[in-house]
Structure 1
Amino acid sequence: MTLAPASERPDGSQYRGSPSIAADRPKALLFCPCGREAPLDEWRVEHDSARRRLVCPDCGETLTVR
């Protein structure tokens, strides 16, 4: 089996395999209707009784309740 040489991206960096627009994003992202995209640890966590709510720090929208 022969490996093909790595291709070059327009920005000069190299990649192997299929390029993806989302390749530079972290794999676990949450999205809010206000437009915020961020990893899980960048959201506000609020606890009430036995539940945990993830809340957008920008607009206050509750994303999930667990």
Structure 2
Amino acid sequence: MSTPRKLRLGPLPKTESVKLTFIWPAALKADLDRYAAMHAETYGEAVDAATLIPHMLESFMAGDRGFKKEH
């Protein structure tokens, strides 16, 4: 039996969305796709990279001490 994975990004909450389009490097897209597959395997819910990005950015900004001081 394998040890359960613990990803920094936990299960995704349901949120209101706004569409944003941007260009990203192919290597980053491949990494995000792999992360999405691991996330789906870990939490049992299919998710794509585009769905993960806002949650990752939110987590990043919440952990940025410099940003928190200004916020």
Q: Normalised by the shorter chain, which TM-score bucket?
A: under 0.3
Tell which has more relative contact order, 1 or 2 (C-alpha 8 A, sep 6+). Answer: 2
TM-score computed with the length of structure 2 as normaliser = 0.20
Structure having the higher helix fraction is: 2
Structure having the higher strand fraction is: 1
Highest Rg: 1 or 2? 1
TM-score computed with the length of structure 1 as normaliser = 0.21
